[in-house]
């Protein structure tokens, strides 16, 4: 039996999963690592923590599965996207902490780009907007704030990579500096129509070309691991950003298919096939995957805070001990209260794209307690998904209909209460798969496909398995009331930014 090892490097933890050649799960390991918040709206990781936790979980999964390097056909990597690492080409040492996708420190730079009219060029070439969420302004910030970094980058002494690229470089002992098209498409530097780094954008955003990795297909030859790491070399054959990997893991290969992943943030992706649909509703046009040199596009809506709202209840407010406690609390909330959490802890993502606002609670009463706050946190994810759902329907009404089913995955998708409430708020069917770790599954499939272990996308899609289907049961009047209250809360938050 041939095995596939999937690396799922996330925002708050690193995970490794070992899959059998039929894509059933053989073993898995997970390890959290430290988040750093040096200033309001700033989020950083130690690159060495990313590396050591990834290495440790890979070794742990191999031990649990009793598999050696020779038994693994290939490794696939999925990763938190947009997060920036800059390191020395010779020593491999990062010159600064990784700046995380959630980080908002370059909001002023992005505002200036918008004021200058540069966002039109950025959107036309990349499908994205001028927002600190993406990589390019983070790269420039590091080069401008680390002494001598810009000069070293111009000389070719420094390398840039999103987390997949950084891990690949470390895994191969510095032999391969490459990424895939999905991760490249999230940098603000990659032309999604030509499939190449864009010189105009490099000049505009002040990023030296010498830093950039080679861009390859999602299923490709990415080299082999250094033999000392796992007791022998292992081929690396797949890379995709986490949301694109989840789209593949959910077998959303046909135009009109849609998935939403609920992890630290929430990301809804709609397959648009060969058409790069330009959004009129502040969604992103992105590359869903690239296989055999052919790009498939998607519309994406990005929510910055989903599961991290539950972490906030646990780690900051100490209202719960485990994330699962929120599932038990939410159903006991007083339904006569209308409490709304707008979790803009690092600004609001799609479809608002406001990096300046911060989170707020609305509708608090003297009787508001842990149950009401837990329900508000879980419902906030459902409301934000509804905002994306409506925007996608407006952008592509022919493919988003009342009969469209949303496939869900990620840690929050395990919560039956939250998924039922999501179906109620969307007034749509929500399907949860048997394997909830679809990001890792997608990475494993890409690696297996390139290694000749896994079947065609069509055959893979035919084997997608449903765990549970959630259908809407909420009264229309109550649903309308809840959505009206959410809309008023968001408007109130946005108005507070206008007043500052």
List, as residue ranges, the binding site for glycerol. Answer: 81-82, 133, 242-243
Enumerate the known binding-site residues: 11-13, 15, 81-82, 133, 242-243, 264, 307, 311, 411
Q: DSSP labels for 144-176?
A: HHSTTHHHHHHHT-EEEE-HHHHHHHHHTTT--
* Whether the bond into 259 is cis, omega within 30 of 0: no
Q: How is residue 140 written in tokens?
A: 């420039």
Enumerate the known binding-site residues for sn-glycerol 3-phosphate: 11, 81-82, 133, 242
**Hey, what's the torsion of the CAs at 253, 257, 262, 267, to 10 degrees?**
90
The single-letter DSSP state of residue 331 is G
Task: Give how far Cα 455 sits from Cα of 259, 366, 463, 474, Å.
Answer: 21, 58, 10, 40
Residue position matching structure tokens 């009404």:
397
- Tell me, rounded to whole angstroms, the distance of Cα 260 from its chain centroid: 10
For residue 360, the surrounding DSSP H or E stretch is strand 360-362
| Residue 458, number of CB atoms within 10 A of its CB | 10
Enumerate the known binding-site residues for ADP: 11, 15, 264, 307, 411
The single-letter DSSP state of residue 454 is S
How big is the chain, counted in residues?
500
Enumerate the known binding-site residues for ATP: 11-13, 264, 307, 311, 411
For residue 20, the surrounding DSSP H or E stretch is strand 13-20
Q: How far apart are alpha carbons 171 and 226 in whole angstroms?
A: 6
H-only helix segments in 339-437: 370-395, 416-426
Q: DSSP labels for 65-92?
A: HT--GGGEEEEEEEE-SS-BEEEETTT-
Cβ atoms of residues 340 and 481 within 8 Å? no
Q: Residue-wise over 159-189: b if at least 16 C-beta within 10 A, else e?
A: bbbbbbbbbbbbbbeeebbbbbbbbbbbbbb
Q: How is residue 15 written in tokens?
A: 């995970």
């Amino acid at each position: 039996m041939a095995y596939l090892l999937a690396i799922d490097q996330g925002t708050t933890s690193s995970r490794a999963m070992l899959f059998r050649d039929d894509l059933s799960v053989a073993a898995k390991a997970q390890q959290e690592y430290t988040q750093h918040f040096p200033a309001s709206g700033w989020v950083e990781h130690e690159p060495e923590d990313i590396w050591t936790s990834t290495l440790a979980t890979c070794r742990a999964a191999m031990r649990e599965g009793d598999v050696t390097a020779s038994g693994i056909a290939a490794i696939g990597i999925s990763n938190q996207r947009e997060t920036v690492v800059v390191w020395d080409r010779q020593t491999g040492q990062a010159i600064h902490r990784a700046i995380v996708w959630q980080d908002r420190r370059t909001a002023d730079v992005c505002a200036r780009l918008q004021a200058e009219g540069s966002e039109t060029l950025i959107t036309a070439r990349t499908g994205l907007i001028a927002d600190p969420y993406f990589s390019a302004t983070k790269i420039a910030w590091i080069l401008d704030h680390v002494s001598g970094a810009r000069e070293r980058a111009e000389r070719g002494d420094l390398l840039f990579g999103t987390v997949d690229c950084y891990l690949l470089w470390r895994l191969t002992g510095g032999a391969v500096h490459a990424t895939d098209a999905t991760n490249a498409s999230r940098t603000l530097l990659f032309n999604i129509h030509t499939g190449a780094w864009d010189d105009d954008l490099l000049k505009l955003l002040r990023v030296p070309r010498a830093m950039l990795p080679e861009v390859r297909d999602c299923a490709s030859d990415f080299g082999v691991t250094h033999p000392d790491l796992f007791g022998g070399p292992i081929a690396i054959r797949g890379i995709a950003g986490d949301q694109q990997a989840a789209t593949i893991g959910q077998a959303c290969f046909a135009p009109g298919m849609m998935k939403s992943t609920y992890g630290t943030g929430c990301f809804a992706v709609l397959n648009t096939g060969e058409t790069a649909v330009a959004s009129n509703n502040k969604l992103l046009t992105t590359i869903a995957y690239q296989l055999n040199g052919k790009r498939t596009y998607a519309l994406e809506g990005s929510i910055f805070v989903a599961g991290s709202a539950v972490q906030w209840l646990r780690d900051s407010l100490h209202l719960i001990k485990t994330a699962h406690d929120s599932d038990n609390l939410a159903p006991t909330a007083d339904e006569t209260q209308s409490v709304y959490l707008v979790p803009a802890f690092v600004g609001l993502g799609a479809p608002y794209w406001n990096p300046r606002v911060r989170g707020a609670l609305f509708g608090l009463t003297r009787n508001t307690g842990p149950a009401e706050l837990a329900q508000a946190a879980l419902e906030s994810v459902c409301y934000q998904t509804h905002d994306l759902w409506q925007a996608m329907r407006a952008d592509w009404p022919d493919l988003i209909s009342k009969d469209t089913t949303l496939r869900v995955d990620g840690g929050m998708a395990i919560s039956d209460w939250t998924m039922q409430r999501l179906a109620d708020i969307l007034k749509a069917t929500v399907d949860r798969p048997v394997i909830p770790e679809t990001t890792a599954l997608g990475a494993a499939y890409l690696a297996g496909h390139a290694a000749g272990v896994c079947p065609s996308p069509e055959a893979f899609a035919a084997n997608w398995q449903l765990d549970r289907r959630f259908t809407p049961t909420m009264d229309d009047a109550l649903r309308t009331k809840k959505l009206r209250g959410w809309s008023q809360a968001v408007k109130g938050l946005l108005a507070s930014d206008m007043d500052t």
